[in-house]
Amino acid sequence: MDQILIMNHLDFPILSTTIFLPLVGACLLLFLRNDTVIKVTASVTGLINFVISLLLYVDFNVATHLFQFGEMKAWIPAYNINYALGIDGITIFLILLTTFLTPLCVLSAWSAIQTRVKEFMFCILMMESAMIGVFCALDFILFYVFWEAMLIPMYLLIAVWGGPRKDYASIKFFIYTLFGSVFLLVAIIALYLNNQTFSIPAAMSGNYSFTFQFWVFLAFALAFAIKVPMFPFHTWLPAAHTEAPTVGSVFLASVLLKMGTYGFLRFCLPVTPQASVYFAPLMIVLSVIGIIYGGLVCLSQTDMKKMIAYSSVAHMGFATLGIFAFTLFGFEGALLQMLNHGVTTGGLFLCVGIIYERTHSREIFDNAGLGKIMPVYTGLFGLFAISGFAFPGTNNFVGELYILLGTFLQHKVAGFFAVVGAILAAAYMLRLLKQIVWGREDKRIIPDMNAREIIYLVPLAVFVIWMGLFPRPFVLTVEKTLMHLSSQLQTYLH
Amino acid sequence: MVTLLLPEISIFLLAVIFLFISIKKNKSETSLSFAKFVSIIPFVISIFCVSGRGLLFSGAYSIDLFSQLFKVMLAFGFCVVVFMLENTDDIEREYVAEYFMFLAFSVLGLMMLVSSVELISIVIALEVSSYSLYVVVPLRKGHSKMQWEAAIKYLFFGAISTGVMLYGMSFIYAACRSTFLADIVLTFPTLVGHPLGIVALIMTLSGFFFKLSLFPFHFWAPDIYEGASNVTTTFIATIPKIAGAALLIRFTMIAPSFYMQFVNILVILAALSMTFGNIVGLVQKDVKRLLAYSGIAHAGYLLMGVLALTRDGNAAAVYYIAIYLLMNLACLYVVVLLANKGENVELDDLMGLSRRAPVLALTLAVAAFSLAGIPPTGGFTGKLFLFTSAFKQGHLTLVIIGAVNTVISIFYYLNLVRMSYSKEAPPNNSNPIKLTFNQKMVCYVLVFMILYMGILPKSIFGLFKAAL
């Protein structure tokens, strides 16, 4: 664990606090009876946690690639399992993204969820705990516990509050993910038998034979590819997205999918570098197929949620493409893309949720022509939509630009196809935007967004523009970690 | 000597008390509440006796940390089972005292079993525990034929397995000239090298496999689980299995690890048991049958720890059987409370449980996730230990089979959760279930224990490891 740099100026275990504060809030909910009080408690918990997590950013040392804010305690000494936490450039924004989205999600569910409010908020807060835990864990078992524990609230979110086919969607989601995860567990045990410890930093500095790396990579990649989801492991995603309640979709798209790409960056590349290089062509081909396939499928969708779900396949394809291009640009782009996709897709899903609450339909045609009726709504929706196809000046442009730069440096053909994918994105997003704003003329009366809805969408919109115009602080924060990662891989590349 | 045997003596006295109640003329509710009260005593006593050490009856009866820990588990399980029989119409009222007497005698036999280190006493203890159960299985209210069929099957299969076990033991005796495990250990390496030795060992073990319902000694389990009353099923599904596992671990501890034929047989049995149990479990509609097949699969998981033939592996197996006790008690407790007339519970009966009785739905969900091995429950931690110890001995294929099985099993465990959470109850079956304070407490204790063993396994695992 000497790789963990204890650099905590704050006198309290800040990572543990951000992980367990939502859980404490969730337990508090169990004693409350009034629905409004429950919602207020949940949003206050989320908000406090966001403020606390901002301290991470304030105190983050951008000059090092080492893990920071380290915490470590023996957990199961018989198997050398520790409660070890720490973050670096790869994880800091993923944690902030999670804490940022949670209070917004609670707000968005304020009127949409009428039944079993307590359980719903409990699930949201439990999810938040587990998701932050995944990004902070520096011990494989701790990581795995959080990784799997997150399945339970997500399953319940879909199975209890989901749409008409919730049963099918929730089970498919659970089993798909679990299938990948058990192989992850086998790989983790294999690494343990090699290192005699479950420590992640130790595994990253280990030296393994190629055959060993080959199998460990495959097991890892299966779990992560399902989570991302990469083509052809993506089939659980549209079903889960369309059946999940809005909050579930937001969490799924914004944070859960990032856990897959996070896994590639954190585990596959540093632990099994040689195998990663070996498998890179395959991963790049799958990413490109994902990008093109996702784009094409989006073109034919009439359900807004389904379309955004498939667009996630394409967007996350960009992220994996960036990762397996093995260039600094690619890594930075992938990380920014993860963050941007979280915000933009989150915003789009929330927009769909808002309109669904009013018209009870997610069909594009049913909701066409809102430009005059709901001007504020279409304004914000338009912003997220153009960000969705990486319009310059919005956040996604920065990420995709970096990824394309990184890809063209290494693989020109893949870069070419990725550009085609970007054009497809423009096509389907503009088609959606055109329909929603100008689709048809009628005299329906649908109330425009209320103050609560504006409150939870505006922060996302601000982020879209902020990142689009001024990405420097983000790039600066992640740079050192990614430079280290890319220099580690250089030895195996040529 | 008396102080060493206090757990056994206390449970024996308990059985005698029930004997006296059963011959009284006007036995009624008082005997029931009395039973609940006094059943805690053996549990408390066995906790206090954990530190006891000694060899009794010329070395045939060993009191050590291993046996004492198992006695605590047995007494705990017995205690919970007795508490379950509250407000339920499972057993004919007039037989309740006899029912408890037989259960207590069975626990006595099992307590003797975990301490026995000599073949003859093992057989005697095993039979003491089994005979009581043969009597208990048909004591069920309502169902007219099912329980008789179950009882007969249990008796016959039990007798056959005892016969096979005795036959195996006679081979061992012939080769080693002793019935004491301590002596057998010495001559064992030469014995196991011989094919006949392997046969002897496997035949002997088959008696314990029967108790554990390991494939292919499993076929009694689903019918008996289904036919016996809910409380009896709870008992059969948990308590004898603990003792069976204890004995299996004691026995394999003496087997030297370098005889691959022996290990290979165990590997095959484990793989078959897991796969068979889980695949057949997929199509079950009756919750008790489902749990029977799940039990067959879990016996396979358990064997993964045992066949590693290492201290870590055995500790993992002990840990797993402890958590298995809790998960199964929790699942079956829900079944008992749900079926207020003592009928069998179908999967469809679970519909809308989360509205009818949130505490029960939570208990069932935690238990099901634990059975499936999802963190942060004890089922996951236990499986992690088992997988790791098997992997350490190079059984990669078996670990992968186990992993795939985990995925298969999630289908039917998730079904339990799915029915209770995402389905609405049919109108004729949607009355809220009122739970008493005691019942809620039992639920909370089980849930807490399952999560505790999942999140903080350190102290308990350390204790089990020290016992081996």
- CA–CA separation, A140 and A214 (whole Å): 19
Q: Please determine, for residue B327, whether its predicted confidence score (pLDDT) is greater than 90.
A: yes
pLDDT tens profile B19-44: 888 887 666 667 677 777 888 899 99
Mean pLDDT score, A333-347 = 92
Per-residue pLDDT of A461-474, as tens digits, reads: 999 999 999 988 89
> Chain A closest CA to B417's CA: distance in Å?
9
Compute the mean pLDDT over every residue in chain A, rounded to the nearest whole number: 89
Phi and psi for A67 in degrees, rounded to 5? -75, 140
Cα B75–chain centre separation: 12
* Sign of the dihedral defined by the CA atoms of residues B139, B142, B145, B149, in that order: negative
- The burial of B44, by beta-carbon neighbours within 10 Å (0-12 exposed, 13-18 middle, 19 or more buried), is given as middle
Cβ-Cβ contacts under 8 Å for A450 (sequence gap 6 or more): none
CA distances from B52 to B59, B69, B125, B180 (A): 15, 10, 20, 21
Most B CBs within 10 A among A189, A194, A212, A220, hence the mutation to make, goes to A189
Angle between helices B287-306 and B378-392 (to 10 degrees): 40
Q: What is the mean pLDDT of residues B75-85?
A: 88
Under an 8 A CB cutoff, do A159 and B422 touch?
A: yes
Task: Count Cβ atoms below 10 Å from residue B337 Cβ, excluding itself.
Answer: 24
Cα-Cα-Cα-Cα dihedral of B222, B390, A141, B443, to 10°?
30
Is pLDDT at A1 greater than 50 in this prediction? Answer: no
Residues 6+ apart with CB under 8 A from B418: A159, A167, A170, A171
Question: What single-letter DSSP state applies at residue A264?
Answer: I
DSSP E strands in A120-244: the ranges are none
* Interface probe with A: pick from B421, B440, B459, B465, most Cβ of A within 10 Å: B421
Comparing CA positions, the residue from B192, B195, B393, B180 lying closest to residue B306 is: B393
Name chain A contacts of B410, Cβ cutoff 8 Å. 174-175, 178
Give the three-state DSSP class for A74.
strand
pLDDT digits (tens, 9 = 90+) for B153-184: 889 888 988 999 999 999 888 888 888 888 88
Are residues A12 and A59 in contact, defined by beta-carbon separation less than 8 angstroms?
no
- Quote the CA–CA distance of A171 and A165 in Å, as a whole number: 10
Residue B197 banded pLDDT, cuts 50, 70, 90: confident
Q: What is the pLDDT of residue A340?
A: 92
The pLDDT score that the predictor gives to residue B427 is 80
- Distance from the Cα of B400 to chain A's closest Cα (Å) equals 7
Contact B434, B382 (CB under 8 A): no
Mean pLDDT value across residues B439-459:
91
Q: What is the H or E stretch that residue B227 is in?
A: helix B220-227
Which chain B residue has the Cα nearest residue A151?
Answer: B374
Confidence of residue B467 (pLDDT cuts 50, 70, 90): confident
Q: Which residues contact A103 (CB under 8 A, 6 or more apart)?
A: A43, A46, A47, A50
Which pLDDT score is estimated for B256?
Answer: 63
pLDDT > 90? residue B419:
no
The pLDDT tens digits of the residues spanning B95-104 come to: 888 888 899 9
Helices (H), A269-411: 269-271, 273-299, 304-324, 328-359, 375-388, 395-410
8 Å CB contact between B316 and B439: no
With contact defined as beta carbons under 8 Å apart, do A172 and A239 qualify?
A: yes
Residue with tokens 């795939």: B404
Q: What is the DSSP string of B9-25?
A: HHHHHHHHHHHHHHHSS
Mean per-residue pLDDT over chain B, rounded: 87
Q: Distance (Å, rounded) from C-alpha A257 to C-alpha A387?
A: 19
- Band of the pLDDT at B290, cuts 50, 70, 90? very high
Q: What does the alpha-carbon distance between residue A433 and residue A383 come to, in Å, rounded to a whole number?
A: 10
Side-chain-side CA neighbours of B223 within 13 Å: the count stands at 17
Residue B1 and residue A29: Cα distance in Å, rounded?
Answer: 53
Cβ <8 Å between B385 and A190:
no
- The answer, yes or no, to whether residue A9 has pLDDT greater than 60, is no
Distance CA B93, CA A232 (A): 60
B85 CB-near residues (< 8 Å, 6+ apart):
B32, B91, B96, B99, B231
pLDDT at A96 over 90: yes
Instruction: Give φ, ψ of A85 to 5 degrees.
Output: -130, 155
Could you give phi then psi for residue A359, rounded to 5 degrees?
A: -105, -10
DSSP letter at A373? T
Predicted TM-score (pTM) of the model is 0.92
Contact A78 B410 (CB under 8 A): no
> CA-CA-CA-CA torsion for B105, B107, B113, B115, nearest 10 degrees?
-110
Instruction: State the burial class of residue B370 (Cβ atoms within 10 Å of its Cβ: 0-12, 13-18, 19+).
Output: buried
In angstroms, the Cα distances linking B373 to A178, A349, B327, B329 are: 10, 33, 11, 16
How does DSSP assign B175-189, residue by residue? Answer: HHS--BHHHHHHHHH
Residue in A321, A433, A428 with CA at minimum distance from that of residue A370: A433
B414 contact residues in A (CB cutoff 8 A): 155, 171, 174-175
Contact pairs from chain A to chain B, CB under 8 Å: 85
Sign of the alpha-carbon torsion through A230, A233, A235, A236? negative
pLDDT tens digits, one per residue of B218-246:
888 888 888 888 888 999 999 999 988 99
CB B366, CB B268: distance < 8 Å: no
Q: How many CB atoms lie within 10 A of CB A393?
A: 12
Residue A492: predicted pLDDT: 82
| Helix axes of A117-136 and A140-149: crossing angle, nearest 10 degrees | 160
Minimum-distance CB partner of A171 among B406, B414, B462: B414
Q: Is A304 in contact with A352 (CB distance < 8 Å)?
A: yes
Asked if B339 contacts B413 with a C-beta cutoff of 8 angstroms, the reply is no
Short-list B251, B235, B296, B6, CA closest to B106: B235
User: Tell me: the pLDDT tens digits for A235-248?
Assistant: 889 889 888 898 88
**DSSP notation for B381-447:** HHHHHHHHHHHHTT-HHHHHHHHHHHHHHHHHHHHHHHHHHHSPPPGGG-PPPP--HHHHHHHHHHH
Nearest CA in chain A to B412: A171
Residues of chain A whose beta carbon is less than 8 angstroms from a beta carbon of chain B are: 74-79, 141, 144-146, 148-149, 151-152, 155-156, 159-160, 162, 166-167, 170-171, 174-175, 178-179, 182-183, 185-186, 189-190, 192-193
CA dihedral B266, B382, B11, B249 (to 10 degrees): 30
Asked if B391's CB is within 8 angstroms of A190's CB, the reply is yes
| Closest CA of chain B from A77, distance in Å | 7
Measured between alpha carbons, how far is A439 from A432 in angstroms, rounded to an integer? 9
DSSP B93: G
Cα distances (angstroms) measured from residue B267 to each of B305, B319, B395? 10, 20, 8
Segment B376-397 shows an average pLDDT of: 90
- Choose from A19, A75, A79, A160 for mutation: most chain B CBs within 10 A: A79
- In single-letter form, the type of residue at position B128 comes to V
φ and ψ of B54, to 5 deg = 160, 160
Query: Do B369 and A152 count as a contact with CB atoms less than 8 A apart?
Result: yes
Local confidence band at A5 (pLDDT 50, 70, 90 cut-offs): low
Contact between chains at B422 and A171 (C-beta distance less than 8 A): no
Query: What is residue B62's three-state secondary structure?
Result: strand
Contact criterion met (CB < 8 Å) for B418 and A178: no
What is the average per-residue pLDDT within A437-441? 80
CB contact under 8 A, A179 and B465: no
Q: Are B255 and B205 in contact (CB under 8 A)?
A: no
For chain B, what is the radius of gyration of the CA atoms? 21
Alpha helix (H) ranges present in A439-471? 451-469
Q: Which backbone phi and psi does B3 adopt, to 5 degrees? A: -65, -35
What pLDDT score was predicted for residue B26?
A: 67
Q: Are A154 and A251 in contact (CB under 8 A)?
A: yes
Q: What is the pLDDT of residue B265?
A: 86
Please name the residue of chain B whose CA is at the shortest distance from the CA of residue A165: B422
Task: Tell me how far apart the alpha carbons of residues B106 and B133 are, in angstroms, rounded to a whole number.
Answer: 7
Q: What residues of chain A lie within 8 A of the CB of B354, using their CB?
A: 160
Percent with pLDDT over 90 in chain A: 43
A4 confidence band (pLDDT: 50, 70, 90): low
Nearest residue in A to B385, CA atom: A79
Cβ separation A182–B465 shorter than 8 A: no
Between B392, B422, B461, which is nearest A160 by CB?
B422
Interface predicted TM-score (ipTM) of this complex, two decimals? 0.89
Rg of chain A, C-alpha, whole Å: 21
Contact indicator for B39, B442 with CB cutoff of 8 Å: no
Q: What is the β-pairing status of strands B61-63 and A81-87? A: unpaired
Nearest to B421 among A74, A151, A159 (CB): A159
CA angle, A233 then A236 then A237, to 5°: 95
